[in-house]
Chains A and B, each alone.
With several copies, the nearest count.
Chain A
Amino acid sequence: MKRIDAIIRPSRLTFVREALEELGYGGITVSEVKGHGKQRGVTEQWRGREYKVEYLSKAWILVVVNDADLTKVVDAIADNARTGEIGDGKIFVSDVLDVIRVRTNERGPAAV
C-alpha cells in the first residue's frame, strides 16, 4: 500500500477529486495548508504600510492506495493539478505498512 501526499493549488482540487472519483478512488483526505516554494508570497498592506505574506494557500491531499493503483492515481492527480505556472506543487509517495478501517476493523489492502 502506498501513501500519496500531494500539495496542489486549491483551485485545482475539484478537478483532482472528480478525476479520482471517476477512477473509483473515493477515499481522500484534504486540508488547507500554506506553502512556500519557487512561487513566492504576496505583498499586502495595512494602513498604508506594506508587508510580505510569505506563504500561499495550498491544498494538501492524502490518498492511500494499493500498490497496483499507484501510477494511475499519481498521474490523475498530476494531470489534473497542472496549470504549467509556477506554484503547481508536488506529489510525495511513500510506503504504508498497514491500513485499518475503523468501522469494521478490517486490516491491510482490503481496508484501503
Chain B
Amino acid sequence: MSQWIRRGRLHRPLGVLGGFLLAMALFSSAMAQEPTTDETVADLVAALDSAWLLIAGFLVFFMQAGFAMLTAGFVRAKNTANILMKNMIDACVGGLAFWAVGWGLAYGASDSSSGFIGMGNFFLNDFEDYAGWFFQFAFAAAAATIVAGSLAERLKFSAYLIYTVVITAVIYPIVVHWAWDANGWLTAFKEDPADLVMANGYVDFAGSGVVHMVGGFAGLVGAIFLGPRKGKFGPGKRVNAIPGHNIAIGSLGMFILWFGWYGFNPGSTLALTGGGAALAAKVAVTTTLAATSGGVAAVLASKLITGRYDPGLTINGVLGGLVGITAGCATVDPWAAVVIGGIGALVMYGGVVLLDRVGIDDPVGAFPVHGCAGAWGVIAVGLFSTEAGMAAAGYAEPSKYGLLVGGGAEQLVMQFLGLGSIMAWVVVTAGILFAAIKYTIGMRVPEQEEDRGLDLMEHGLDSYPDFGPTGPGIFSAANGN
C-alpha cells in the first residue's frame, strides 16, 4: 500500500479531490494494481475507526495537562514543582511501564484460561494494533496520575517513582483484563453470551470503575499509609483548611479534563463505523449533561451548606459528574445523565466531608472525585441503563438493565460484584505496595522538608522565584534591576 501513501507527500497544488483522482490514475497505470471499490471501502472503514481511536487518545492524553494544572492549583506554592514533576513523570514512567508490561497483562494474547490476567505482547512484541495500544496507554497514565493528587505535598519522589511503575504495570492492567479483555472474568465482551459471569457482565463503558476507582482507591490507601499533611488536623477534632495556591490554573485543569473526557468517553466506542458514530454522539451528550449537572449541583450545595459559591467544590463537582457518568455514558438516557451527574457531585461532596471526619488528608480530593463518584458511576449503570441503551452499546443481554427503569436487579447485582472485586483488588494490592514502600525506603519526606516545601528539597527549585513569599524575588543577583 506504500504507493498510496507516497502520494500524500506530493504537495502539488491539485486540490484534494483532484489530487486523489490523479494519483489513483498515476499509480493504477504505473502499477496496474488499482484497489477495487470494496478494498477501498474496507480501507476507509479501518482508517476511520483507527483515526477515531487516535484522536480520542490524543484528547485522553491531554488530560495529563488537566491533572497537572488541577493538582498544581490545589496545592501550596511551595509544592508546585513537585506535583508537576509527578504528573510529568507519571506519563513518562507510566508509558514505559505500560509498554513493557502493562499492555501484556491487560490484553496480552496468550490469555490464562482463568480470566484473571493476560500474558504476551510485552514490549509491543508481535503486535500491530498501535492505535489500540495508544488509546489504552492514555488511560493507564490517567489512572496513575489520579493517585498523585491524594499523596501530594508530603510524598517522597523516590516512593512515588516506585508506586507509579507498579500501578501502571500491574495493578491497573489486571483490572483492565478482568473488565475489558474478551477473556476477562468480569467482562461484558464475551463472544458467547453464555460465558458472561452474570447479566451483561460488568458494564463499565469508559471506566468509572476500571480507571477512576482504581486511581481513587489506590490514592486513598496511599493517603492512609502516608498520614495527613502537617497542620491539616489540629489539636482535638480541629480540621484545618489548606487552600490551594492558584485557582486560575486549577480551573484551567478542570476545563482541560472536561475537554479530554470527550476522548475518554466518546472514544470508548473504539470505532466510528457500524453505529459507533451515533453511539459516540450520544455519549458526548450524556457526558456533557452529567458534567453540567455536577457543576450545578456542587455550586448550589456549597451555597446552601456554606453560604458561598465554592470554587474548589464546583471544580470537583464537575469532575464528580464526569466520573459518575463514565461507566454508564453509553447506556443511560440523557435525563438520567443529568441525575447521575448531579448525584456524582453530591457523592463527591460527601466524600470530602467524610475524609475530614475520619482524619484522612487528600489534598486535591482525588478519592472523593475518582473513588466515590467512580463507585457511584458503576452502581448507576445498574440503576439507569435502558434496554435500548444496552443494545445500542452492543451488550449481549439487553434484557437485563437498570433497576429504576424497569430492568430488574440482576445487572445491579452484577455491578456490585464488579465494584467489590475492583475495590478489593486495589485495596489489597495497593496496601501491600504502600506498606512495602513505607517500611523499606519510606514514604514521607522529613518534617523539615515538608515545612520548607518539597520543591526546594527534592527539586532545588522555587516555582515562582520572582514572587513572594517563597523566592529570591528582586534579591537575586542575576535579576539586576
Contact = CB atoms under 8 A, between A and B. Distances in A.
A–B contact at 8 Å CB threshold (below): yes
B238 to A, nearest CB: 10
A10 B241 contact: no
A48 B302 contact: yes
B312 A48 contact: yes
Contacts of A42: 456
Contacts of A44: 241, 243, 456, 460-462, 465
A50 B306 contact: yes
The DSSP consensus for interface residues of chain A is strand
Interface stretch (A54-62, A73-81, A88-96, A97-105): A54-62
Interface string A21-61: 00000000010101000000011111111110111010100
B312 A46 contact: yes
A45 B479 CA distance: 15
B469 interface: yes
Contacts of B473: 32, 34
Interface string B237-258: 0011111100000000000000
A12 to B, nearest CB: 10
Contacts of A54: 472, 475, 477
B15 to A, nearest CB: 42
A43 B243 CA distance: 12
Given A49-B241, A51-B240, A32 B313 contact: no
Contacts of A53: 462, 471-472, 475-476
Given A11-B480, A32-B469, A57-B469, A46 B243 contact: yes
A13 interface: yes
Nearest to A56: B452
B451 interface: yes
A34 B352 contact: no
A77 to B, nearest CB: 16
Interface residues of A, number: 22
B305 A34 contact: no
Q: Determine which residue in A10, A34, A47, A51 has the highest number of CB atoms from chain B within 10 A of its CB, and name it.
A: A47
A49 B233 CA distance: 12
Interface residues of B, number: 39
A66 interface: no
B474 A57 contact: yes
A49 B461 contact: no
B333 interface: no
Contact of B306 (A14, A32, A45, A59): A45
Given A34-B475, A57-B481, A47 B312 contact: yes
A11 B451 contact: yes
A48 B239 contact: no
Given A11-B480, A57-B481, A48 B305 contact: yes
Interface in B365-393: 365
Given A44-B460, A45-B460, A46-B242, A55 B310 contact: no
B353 interface: yes
B426 to A, nearest CB: 24
Contact of B313 (A43, A48, A50, A51): A48
A53 B243 CA distance: 11
Contacts of B470: 57
Interface of A: 10-11, 13-14, 30, 32, 34, 42-51, 53-55, 57, 59
